[in-house]
Structure 1
Amino acid sequence: MSAAVVSSRDAILDSAGRLFGERGYRGVTVRDIASDAGVSAALVMKLFGSKEKLFAAAKPDESLLSDLDVPASELGATLVFRVLMRRERGLKEPWAMLPFTIQDSPTPDAARAETRERYLAAMATLLKDATPDRRYASTVVALMTGFGEAVRTLGMFDGWDFDDLVAHYGAIVQAQVDACGETRT
């Protein structure tokens, strides 16, 4: 692929991820995405084949968990900090996109199972959660999904001091991280 095609593909994925995250699958057209990305709708279709395939390619991924290189004692605050930094920078929020990814998917049951497994596996690996039901990983994923959705969609915590919010909500997440660690000792 040429550099221009790669650049256009990245722009399309960025626009699609943000627009799907804001409006859901049904609320976004290929033309909306193309316009936002500064490309033609024909190019979007050429690169992705269909709106459904574009939605699948633009969905949030668990890589936001794989590049965390912090001590376990800082994990809760780091996860919260990253959500708030993405909000400050106007970047898409993968945690807030999770409900849209599933509910608006053309195949919601398959999307639910696949997304749940990807996020739980990544979080369980990060936490070293060896419980049979991955209870700590499940709880942290739920806390972060709720936080991402509350911050981005509902505008919760507007007016809070950034550092105070990191400390406050980070401590809530950290309690589960620490509880998981206690099961290993």
Structure 2
Amino acid sequence: MNSTSRDRILGAAGRLFGERGYRAVTVRDIALEAGVSASLVMKLFLSKEKLYAAVQPEESVFAELDVPTTELGEALVFRVLMRRERGMQEPWATIPLAVLDSPNPGATRSEVRERYLDAIAQLIGDTTSDRRFASTVTALMTGFGEAVRTLGLFDSWDFDEVVEHYGAIVQTQIDASKAAR
């Protein structure tokens, strides 16, 4: 029982949950993928639900996003494409699966919705009572993350072309939020 085993378990669980979803993955699947026993998985994480919570992306899609508001659309799109190129988990793409396949979908939906809407609203300065611009940016980015990862859309496009094209679409909502103030 060392940190290497724990790291292997977390890595295996993240991959499997990301590929198949919560319900389709067993503790035995994770243990087999990690090269450890199922009992060690349970000893370290106590339950499949707690392991699932432990592998949710910790990296905030907003961390270190220190760019002018006028460049925010492109910056958000750029980060999705960079995570794809580096083989990293895509938080935007995992939102639907994390909610729908969660052990408690209602609570997860509320928590994820508020976390993302609050962060985007603060980032773009959306002061509307219904956070309409933050909602639209969140929808655009969730759809983009899914389209890039799941459908492989934009694979044949030049990287910079995607950033410019889709970034401009996202930017329209960011600019509209500023205009609504």
TM-score of the superposed pair, with normalisation by structure 2:
0.90
Cα offset for 1:49? 1.0
Q: Secondary structure at the match of 2:128?
A: coil
1:130 has 2:162 as partner: no
Deviates further, 107-116 or 25-34: 25-34
RMSD, aligned α-carbons: 2.0
TM-score normalised per structure 1: 0.88
- Identical-residue share of aligned pairs (%): 69
Q: What are the superposed Cα offsets for residues 95-122 of structure 1, whole Å, 9 maximum, x if unpaired?
A: 1111111111111111111111111111
The residue correspondences of 1:153-172 to structure 2 (distance < 5 A) are 153-172=150-169
Whichever residue aligns with residue 69 of structure 1, its letter is D
* Alignment match, 1:55: 52
Judged with a 3 Å threshold, the aligned counterparts in structure 2 of structure 1 residues 86 and 38 are, in CA distance, closer, same or farther, namely farther
Deviation at 1:77, TM superposition (A): 0.8
Aligned length: 181
Deviations along 1:134-167, one digit per CA (max 9) or x if unpaired, are 1111111111110111111111112111111111
Structure 1, unmatched stretches of 5+, are none
When residues 8 and 132 of structure 1 are mapped into structure 2, their CA distance, relative to the original with a 3 A threshold, is farther
Unaligned 5+ segments in structure 2 are none
Q: Structure 1 residues 141 and 164, CA, compared in 2 at 3 Å: closer, same or farther?
A: same
SS at match of 1:110: helix
Verify: 1:41 aligned to 2:38, yes or no.
Answer: yes
1:36/1:91 Cα in 2 relative to 1: closer, same or farther (>3 Å)?
farther
**CA positional deviation for 1:178:** 1.1
- 1:176 deviation in Å? 0.8
